Amino acid sequence: MALDAADLGPATSLTCRECGESYDLGPRYACEQCFGPLEIAYDFTGVTRASIEAGPRNIWRYRGLLPVPTNVQDTPNTEPGFTRLVRADHLAESLGMQRLWVKDDSGNPTHSFKDRVVAVALAAARELGFKVLACPSTGNLANAVAAAAARAGIRSAVFVPSNLEQQKIVTTAVYGGTFVTVRGNYDDVNRLASEIAGEQDDWAFVNVNVRPYYAEGSKTLGYEIAEQLGWRLPDQIVVPVASGSQLTKIDKAFGELIKLGLVEDKPYRVFGAQATGCSPVAAAFKAGHEVVRPVKPDTIAKSLAIGNPADGPYVLDVVRRTGGAVEDVTDAEVVEGIRLLAGTEGIFGETAGGVTVACLRKLVSSGALDPDAETVIINSGDGLKTLDAVAPVARPSAEIAPSLEDFRASGLA
Ligand SMILES: Cc1ncc(COP(=O)(O)O)c(C=O)c1O
Ligand SMILES: [Zn+2]
């Protein structure tokens, strides 16, 4: 694929995270020397608070910090981002905390943070000459890819484990692209996708062969949190972990903002959240290991059910460097977490949100997280996509006849 005329904004090259080898920008994702993952390097110029604030109310206000064409906002896309940052005083009070915020990313076009990464991947993939937008997915990514491709007028091809939640199957299929359910778990689907990517030259598997570009989309969560706090960083942040990409990129975003002088330099601590039924990164953290041993997932938090997380070791690096931790919670605690967030703040998160809230609670009670320090948690997806998780316990108070007598007799007045 020719790259001569490619415009990828401030991106200058690809660098190996392991050995530092540098490559020209292009459709590559692994180092030829050591097979390490490649990461975008940049030359940022002219990015100021004012230039960002003058941009659109979506992730493209940060296009000067992303590997996307200069005119990205003018091409048809789902315009994700700039979701609300909600001050969560009632949740804070119930946990004995002082200043707590929920970054509610269920407000994106397909109701999860995946719209961010897909929008960046799509913009880069088109510039790199790919014709089809594809992915292996635990559900939300497939949803975001199918919608973004429909909006851009290109073909999508998405692959998911066949045991996904019904809501995620329907919300993906409705966009009409090629949609394949695979009899296997996510790690099987991911392996298959890599094999297909090896044969289909013009298919951009967003999280496989254009992963370096895709991953940068999660930086926008970090930028937005800082901007919405009035160009400040929080003291602590709790992030759900599947592949671990989101967590590492929020840290990268905070680092860039400090380097560019857009926020004051200050320490912050990054915490990861997993479901115990798929907690390879939490297990490695607790055992003091540097490598992450793959597991077979078994949890209701299907969006986080990646047993062999690509960015697991880098999550450990970030968490250890910043003085955070990686915690995990049982499925019962996940359900409690969903209900706690809904009942205290009126925010219905999906199972990943339940994992994050429940881990927050556990981190506060263990003393790992400081209840008096300003904290942000990420609600990365919408509870309407994982209804089965709470359906057995989220029930009406009573069923009555349409009579005042019946209501009085119900004892609910
Ligand atoms: C709702 C939700 N939250 C969090 C994540 C974790 O993202 P990452 O793979 O970047 O760790 C996912 C991944 O699929 C997800 O769907
Ligand atoms: Zn390398």
What does the pLDDT look like over 280-325, one tens digit per residue?
Answer: 999 999 999 999 999 999 999 999 999 999 999 999 999 999 999 9
Is 346 a domain residue?
yes
Measure Cα distances from 325 to 147, 173, 256, 339, 411 in Å.
35, 37, 22, 24, 46
Q: Is the pLDDT of residue 1 over 90?
A: no
Mutate which of 190, 243, 278 for ligand 1 pocket (most atoms within 8 A of beta carbon): 243
Q: What average pLDDT does this structure show over 276-280? A: 98
Longest C-alpha distance within the chain, in Å?
78
112 lines ligand 1 (CB under 6 A): yes
For ligand 2, a single-atom ion, the residues with CB < 5 A are: 16, 18-19, 21, 31, 33-34, 36
Q: How many domains does the chain have?
A: 1
Could you give the angle at the alpha carbon of 26 between the alpha carbons of 25 and 27, nearest 5°?
Answer: 145
349 φ, ψ (degrees, to nearest 5):
-90, 160
From ligand 2's centre to the CA of 401, what distance in Å? Answer: 69
Ligand 1 atom 14 nearest Cα: 303
The answer to whether residue 381 is domain-embedded is yes
Ligand 1 proximity of 243 Cβ (cutoff 6 Å): yes
The residues that bridge with 328 in the sheet, in sequence order, are 274
Kind and range of the H or E run holding 115: helix 114-127
Residue 305: closest CA among 391, 240, 248, 251: 240
* Mean pLDDT in residue range 35-57: 97
CB of 143 closer than 6 angstroms to any ligand 1 atom: no
190 Cβ below 6 A of ligand 1: no
Indicate which atom in ligand 1 lies nearest the CA of residue 137. Answer: 14
Collapse the DSSP code of 392 into the 3-class scheme (helix H, G, I; strand E, B; otherwise coil) and give the result. Answer: coil
pLDDT greater than 80 at residue 5: no
Query: Is the CB of 242 within 6 Å of ligand 1?
Result: yes
* Span from the CA of 65 to the centroid of ligand 1 (angstroms): 22
> Is 15 near ligand 1, meaning CB less than 6 Å away?
no
CATH code for position 299: 3.40.50.1100
Phi, psi of 137 (to 5 degrees): -150, 155
What pLDDT is recorded for position 2? 47
Mean pLDDT confidence for 99-105: 98
Q: Indicate which atom in ligand 1 lies nearest the CA of residue 245.
A: 10
Confirm or reject: Cβ of 140 under 6 Å from ligand 1.
yes
**Ligand 1 near 350 CB (within 6 A):** yes
Cβ pair 280, 215 in contact under 8 A: no
Whether 147 is in a domain gets the answer no
The pLDDT mean for the chain works out to 97
Q: Which domain, by its residues, includes 374? A: 85-111+215-390
Q: Which residue's CA is the closest to the ligand 1 atom numbered 7?
A: 242
Confidence (pLDDT) at 6: 85
Confidence of residue 4 (pLDDT cuts 50, 70, 90): low
Contact (Cβ atoms closer than 8 angstroms) between residue 151 and residue 78: yes
Residue 397 in any domain: the answer is: no
Q: What's the CA dihedral at 115, 121, 127, 129 to 10 degrees?
A: -120
**Under a CB-based contact definition with an 8 Å cutoff, are residues 38 and 212 in contact?**
yes
In the chain the first and final C-alpha atoms are separated, in Å, by: 69
Mean pLDDT of 405-410: 95
Best substitution site from 246, 247, 292, 350 to test ligand 1's pocket, by max atoms within 8 Å of Cβ? Answer: 246
Question: In this structure, are residues 247 and 239 in contact, taking their beta carbons and an 8 Å threshold?
Answer: yes
Count CA atoms closer than 13 A to 254's CA, side-chain side.
22
What's the CA-to-centroid distance between 304 and ligand 1, angstroms? 6
Q: What is the dihedral of CA 238, 241, 244, 250, to 10 degrees?
A: -20
CB distance 356 to ligand 1 below 6 Å? no
For residue 187, CA distances in Å to 98, 109, 183, 285, 355 come to 40, 27, 11, 21, 20
- Closest approach atom of ligand 1 to CA 351: 1
Strand partners, 381: 112
Residue 92 has pLDDT above 70, yes or no: yes
Tokens of 59: 């992730």
Asked, for residue 132, whether it belongs to a domain, the answer is no
| Domain-embedded: residue 384 | yes
Asked, for residue 32, whether it belongs to a domain, the answer is no
Distance CA 292, CA 281 (A): 6
Q: Which atom of ligand 1 is nearest to the CA of 215?
A: 10
Decide whether any atom of ligand 1 lies within 6 Å of the 386 Cβ: no
Residue 90 in any domain: the answer is yes
The pLDDT tens digits for 145-189 are 999 999 999 999 999 999 998 999 999 999 999 999 999 999 999
Residue nearest atom 15 in ligand 1 by C-alpha distance: 303
Ligand 2 centre and the CA of 131: distance in Å? 28
